[in-house]
Amino acid sequence: MAPAKAAFYSAIFPGLGQIYNKKYWKAPLVWGAIATPTYFYLNNNSEYKRYRTAYKLRKSGFQDEFTNDLGEVTVSLETLERAQEQLRENRDLSLMWGVIIYVLQIVEASVNAHLIQFNTDDNLSLKPSFVQDPILFDAPKVGFTLKYTF
């Protein structure tokens, strides 16, 4: 597996680098991770535009969706301003997280392709053993030896 190719495929289409690395189970995770901030970005953007339009209409003296036919206001002008600020912030954060996840999945595909090149044997073993001090019998001491083999 070529790491540059895996990164290129992930950059073209998220999850494709994971499929190229034959880690098929990772592709749906990548798609879900990319889809979540995309959904929130689109939702916050549409709500932001809704409140922005209402704010502009009200400032111009026209009726907006938060004013009924009798002229009663259900949402104040200050609330419209605060809603715009919050929705814009949420939208921008969603975009930031989407870009971060996009870049991370490219890096993950490249690193995984690098690691596939290493020979990893299933015969890795870890054998802990406890060793007593043979010189001092009256004061019990216990040592710890850790042996690992490849």
Beta strand segments in the chain, E: 125-132, 142-149
Going by pLDDT thresholds of 50, 70 and 90, the confidence category of residue 138 is low
Give 88 or 148, the one with higher predicted confidence: 88
Residue 122 DSSP label: S
> How far apart (Å, rounded) are the C-alpha atoms in residues 117 and 108?
15
Looking at residues 111-120, what average pLDDT do you find?
85
53: how many CB neighbours lie within 10 A of its CB? 13
Looking at 37-46, 70-79, 93-102, which range is the least confident one? Answer: 70-79
pLDDT at 61: 86
* Between residues 117 and 46, the one the model is more confident about: 46
pLDDT score recorded for residue 139? 61
**CA dist 90 → 8, 38, 79, 95, 113 (Å):** 30, 12, 16, 9, 35
What are the beta bridge partners of residue 147?
A: 127
Average pLDDT over residues 144-149: 65
Average pLDDT over residues 11-29: 95
Report the share of the chain in percent with pLDDT over 90. 63
> How confident is the model over 53-88, as pLDDT tens digits?
999 999 998 888 888 888 888 888 999 999 999 999
The model's confidence at residue 36, banded by pLDDT at 50, 70 and 90, is very high
Higher pLDDT, 149 or 12: 12
